[in-house]
């Protein structure tokens, strides 16, 4: 499912300190491309495409864990539905960026661009709230001792989703959008 690596990744749960994870590759370096076209290409391939590929995998794992471990007190009940809600919400957000906002940015922008940017940033704030709930449902992205492989992979997928979404939104808010808001 995820490439195996022993590279350290920043863990938002511990204030950005590095942890080691054996299941997914490290995030990209924070030195985003300087040109707008390169930055948008990075956002599309590294984040939009990745979310579309990995969220359905996480939903399927959550459904399996919730079904198999329904009697377990630690079972992340409601996680699959929450991930499905996040996936639907994110899909419509990404489509608006791809079809409306990113073409406007590539065209050089206009004074009116503040409005779609403001809406996207408000939706990013909604995603941050969804991530808080995701963390609560997964008990801070952890699995109990002795959890099955699917459960362990599920919490790693959720931790990766948390990290990817935060970096995705940071790149958009602070790097891509910011020049149009000054």
Judged by the rule CB under 5 A, the positions of this chain that interact with Fe ion are: 97, 120, 172
For residue 25, the minimal CB distance to Fe ion (Å) is: 20
Whole-angstrom distance, CA of residue 123 vs CA of residue 132: 14
- Which residue, 69 or 160, is less far from Fe ion as judged by CB? 160
Angle at 21 between CA 159 and CA 14, to 5 degrees: 55
- Which residue, 66 or 172, is less far from Fe ion as judged by CB? 172
- Per DSSP, the three-state class of 18 is strand
For residue 21, the minimal CB distance to Fe ion (Å) is: 24
Alpha helices, H only, the chain: 36-42, 49-68, 79-96, 102-106, 114-137, 149-170
- Which residue, 76 or 116, is less far from Fe ion as judged by CB? 116
Whole-angstrom distance, CA of residue 81 vs CA of residue 124: 20
- Tell me, what DSSP letter sits at residue 97? I
- Which residue, 86 or 153, is less far from Fe ion as judged by CB? 86
For residue 90, the minimal CB distance to Fe ion (Å) is: 8
- Tell me, what DSSP letter sits at residue 27? P
Structure token pair of residue 179 = 């020049």
For residue 43, the minimal CB distance to Fe ion (Å) is: 5
For residue 50, the minimal CB distance to Fe ion (Å) is: 11
- Which residue, 140 or 174, is less far from Fe ion as judged by CB? 174
């Amino acid at each position: 499912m995820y490439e195996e690596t022993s590279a350290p990744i920043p863990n938002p749960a511990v204030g950005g300190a590095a942890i080691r994870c054996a299941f997914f590759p490290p995030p990209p370096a924070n030195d985003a491309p300087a040109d707008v076209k390169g930055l948008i290409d990075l956002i599309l391939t590294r984040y939009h495409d990745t979310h579309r590929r990995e969220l359905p995998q996480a939903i399927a794992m959550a459904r399996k864990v919730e079904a198999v471990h329904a009697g377990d007190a630690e079972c992340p009940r409601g996680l699959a539905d929450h991930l499905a809600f996040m996936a639907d919400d994110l899909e419509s957000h990404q489509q608006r960026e791809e079809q409306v906002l990113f073409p406007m940015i590539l065209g050089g922008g206009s004074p009116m661009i503040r409005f779609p940017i403001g809406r996207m940033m408000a939706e990013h704030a909604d995603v941050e709230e969804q991530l808080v709930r995701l963390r609560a449902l997964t008990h801070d992205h952890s699995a109990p001792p002795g959890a099955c492989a699917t459960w362990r992979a599920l919490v790693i997928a959720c931790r990766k989703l948390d990290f990817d979404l935060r970096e995705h939104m940071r790149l958009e808010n602070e790097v891509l959008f910011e020049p149009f808001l000054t």
